[in-house]
Chain A
């Protein structure tokens, strides 16, 4: 009995798998905040005839203020996008010996296609669940659609931000096309992030339910890691590189407090995402 009490009061230490560096976590935080701001200041314009659009616009301080926040968040997006791309270039350069599409890379490879087919077989009970390496195909899609989508939405956004500069060269109809692309790419991104890929696959799928804190804490319990990413684990054991990704995580009141804060922020963001999703779905079908 005494030892149990001591275990609760003493800081508890775990051996954990370090999945994300501080850089990754800061980048994610910037994406998280800027994306939410962009959606809430931009989507009302797409669904301008609805009551909720007026309500959201008034809540964020009106169209003019929303435009300012939208542009600030756009600059944050440019910043994180540049950092991500520099990181990708660095990783590709570092891994040049192993191959850019090697297991563990964020780049899509043949195994992803096999995994998609394998997952559908598993869904219908016709095979075992595929085993994954560091990144699953939906995580690669999530990341690549963000990096790629940002180029499209960024370029069209800048055309509309600086129409005078762009029309020195381009005909005026490019502004019209830019609006159509920007607005629909935004709907695509919001749908992917708020429902199908990010909210579900990061938090709501059975393996992570109800919340996956790894992007906030950086590491996850070794047992969970072995189960979630068996191929990476096996690969690292074989390569003898497991030590590179092992960290000792101490559970203290500070880590508990941080957990509570992240739970809170994720819950608020999740609710906002669900709210915006309901608004959009309602507008599309009404």
Chain B
């Protein structure tokens, strides 16, 4: 029976892939919800201190990977009517433990064991990201798509701004910003669901596994190679002394040479005009 359902779901997905995106809309069950939540003037609701909109864009949801699902697949316990407090009060607390994990058990298990998962699931009111903070709730897209890969820098940067700016100074970051979709982004080194601090041996960036992580893209990577600093701020002597030293030396050199060059050039032009040297016939 499950196999049959899976087959049917697969068939529907295949069909949705074949059909033009616009023709796939929310299903009849979701339409009921959208009769209210499709209204932009519906206002907002306080979720853990953050005002979230009650409006759901039917087109965005309908064309997302989850577009064929009922709203109640994730919004567990809600009924298609004016919601009572009992339905919504603790919904997020329940949903964060079950809504995604019901279908994506493997990913959810990895996430639960991760640094983010520990924080987000272990305590109420944590700022650590839940599934939907990275995958977006109503606009779930294919994580292998170019658009999603490109959005990862911003997704992580929302909380890890300093880290993402040092990443952008590395070749990976530069290439990513300028449109190279094959270059490493945050999740290629840190992992996605099972992100752990470097101090944890199980982390992809721990001393034990970093060489292997680099070798995914750089076959033959060795210990020294993995010692390359991805997150280094050349402008700060506290980030890495040697990188800062060479940076400071070059900035000083550039300022000196450009100043001398600028003054020399300006005076040469001044003297050229003053003595009428520019007015002479061509040589």
Contact = CB atoms under 8 A, between A and B. Distances in A.
Interface of A: 44-46, 48-49, 53-54, 57-58, 62-64, 119-120, 122-125, 138, 160, 163-164, 167-173, 175-177, 179-181, 184-185, 187-188, 191-192, 195-197, 200, 204-207, 209, 220-221, 223-224
Given A124-B267, A164-B220, 9 more contacts: A54-B178, A57-B179, A168-B222, A173-B229, A177-B242, A177-B243, A181-B250, A200-B268, A223-B283
Contacts, number: 142
A197 to B, nearest CB: 6
Contacts of B275: 206
Contact of A173 (B243, B262, B265): B243
Contacts of A188: 250, 253-254, 257
Contacts of A207: 277
Closest 10 A/B residue pairs (Cβ): A196-B261, A172-B227, A206-B272, A206-B277, A184-B250, A123-B267, A172-B228, A167-B224, A63-B180, A167-B225
Contact of A123 (B243, B247, B268): B268
Contacts of A124: 267
12 contacts: A49-B177, A62-B178, A163-B228, A167-B224, A170-B224, A171-B224, A172-B227, A173-B242, A176-B229, A176-B242, A177-B246, A188-B257
B6 interface: no
A183 to B, nearest CB: 8
Q: Name the residue in A57, A160, A192, A206 with the highest tally of chain B Cβ atoms < 10 Å from its Cβ.
A: A206
B236 interface: no
Interface in B249-270: 250-251, 253-254, 257-258, 261-262, 264-265, 267-270
A40 B271 CA distance: 33
A169 to B, nearest CB: 8
A209 B279 CA distance: 10
Contacts of A62: 178-180
Contact of A63 (B178, B229, B253, B257): B178
A111 B100 CA distance: 79
Contact of A176 (B232, B261, B267): B232
A205 B251 CA distance: 27
B277 to A, nearest CB: 3
Contact of B283 (A54, A176, A181, A221): A221
A58 B180 CA distance: 11
Interface in B137-171: 168, 170-171
Interface of B: 168, 170-171, 173-175, 177-180, 182-183, 218, 220-222, 224-229, 232, 234, 240, 242-243, 246-247, 250-251, 253-254, 257-258, 261-262, 264-265, 267-275, 277-278, 283
A187 B168 CA distance: 18
B178 A53 contact: yes
Contacts of B173: 48
Provide the main secondary structure of the chain B interface.
helix
B229 A172 contact: yes
Contacts of B264: 119, 138, 196
Nearest to A120: B267
A123 B250 contact: no
Contact of B261 (A48, A125, A195): A195
Contacts of B220: 164
B224 A172 contact: yes
B254 A206 contact: no
B200 to A, nearest CB: 21
Contacts of B232: 176
A62 B183 CA distance: 13
Contacts of B283: 220-221, 223-224
A184 B247 contact: yes
Given A192-B261, A195-B261, A206 B268 contact: yes
A187 B254 contact: yes
A209 B278 contact: yes
A221 B227 CA distance: 59
Contacts of B254: 184, 187-188, 191
Given A48-B173, A57-B178, A179-B171, A164 B258 contact: no
Contacts of A125: 271, 274
A196 B262 contact: yes
A48 B178 contact: yes
A64 B180 contact: yes
A191 B267 contact: no
Contacts of A120: 267
Nearest to B218: A164
B261 A197 contact: yes
